[in-house]
Amino acid sequence: MTGPLANLQMSLQDFLAIREFIYARTGIFFNESKQYFLENRLNRRLQELSLATYREYLGFLQGAAGKEELKQLFNEITTNETSFWRNPPQIEAFQRIVLPDAVALVRARGANRLRIWSAACSSGEEPYTLAMICQEARDSLLRGITVEIQATDISEKVLAQAREGVYGSYTLRNLTPAQVKQHFAPLGADTFQVKPELKQMITFKNFNLVDYPAYRTLGTLDVIFCRNVLIYFDEAVKGKVIRGFHEVLHPKAFLLVGHSESIHSFNVGFELMHFSKAMGYRKRD
């Protein structure tokens, strides 16, 4: 192998080949305007691996060592901007409407487990936010109910951060001082760690949303959060992912997507729910 070239330019041919590979493995579709983004992110991998061309890198991905390198690729191409209590109107709708309705359905089935999936959970802020809400309701709404939150992401890097559960104050900016005090232990002037009782509710797991047969391994769910993820998929993949969600939800269970995302065009057995300054979907019977 020849040595790497700093800031090597990606040809359109290389971009199209790598884009096709990424799409096949992840369902994420990069249009031509994202060529520079992909070039910038993957140039770091070429230098790490002492590769001279993007064509060599694609060959490396397709070779014997490709499975491990895929993890690094996913880390590079995924965007993980998030925070606690992100999109407050939707989180509050979960707290005030979705959670009580979901609990009522659990009790009506004669069950005692509430199961939530935080899909594409990034560094853990979303599932920990949901755990905080459930923890605060444990002696009232959730009395006698066990809460299980499955939090998944394609990136091992962000999953490691989520399992550690250590955050700076900027990420906690939407929380009240009382919430921070109740759910976090201070580690330093600007560092906080999630308390064990929240961690105990959550199982973090690597999961690829285009691995459709794997959906069944998650069991049947009461609520799915999949926010700000569908925007990275084309219509074909988006439809398959939504059908996968539909199959693993109980009747009348809930799907919450990002505020700018809509599944209306797929007509796959969900009805739209309007909340105050937010929306969600409910599986039809």
Q: Could you tell me where the DSSP H helices lie in the chain?
A: 12-26, 35-49, 54-62, 66-77, 88-93, 99-108, 125-136, 156-164, 177-183, 196-199, 235-248
Q: What is the pTM of this model?
A: 0.85
At residue 227, does pLDDT exceed 80?
Answer: yes
- Contacts of residue 104, defined as CB under 8 A and 6 or more positions apart, other chains included, come to none
User: What is residue 131's predicted lDDT score, i.e. its pLDDT?
Assistant: 98
Q: What is the mean pLDDT of residues 268-277?
A: 88
The SS3 call for residue 112 is coil
Q: Lowest mean pLDDT of 63-67, 88-92, 106-110, 209-213, name the range.
A: 63-67
Fold type of domain 12-77: Chemotaxis Receptor Methyltransferase Cher; domain 1 (1.10.155)
Q: Could you tell me the CA-to-CA distances from 73 to 107, 133, 232 in Å, in that order?
A: 43, 34, 16
Collapsing DSSP to helix, strand or coil, 280 comes out as strand
CATH fold of 88-283 reads Rossmann fold (3.40.50)
pLDDT at 4 exceeding the cut of 60: no
The residue assigned the tokens 């961690």 is 199
Per-domain residue ranges of the chain: 12-77, 88-283
- Give the whole-angstrom CA distance, residue 267 versus residue 254: 15
Contact 233, 128 (CB under 8 A): no
Predicted pLDDT of residue 221: 98
| Helix-helix angle 54-62:66-77, to 10 degrees | 120
Beta-carbon contacts of 204 under 8 Å, excluding residues fewer than 6 positions away, are 121, 124, 127, 151, 152, 153, 159, 162, 163
- What pLDDT shows up at residue 208? 93
User: Rounded to an integer, what distance in angstroms lies between the CA atom of residue 285 and that of residue 164?
Assistant: 39
Same topology for domains 12-77 and 88-283, yes or no?
A: no
The C-alpha angle 171, 276, 268, rounded to 5 degrees, equals 90
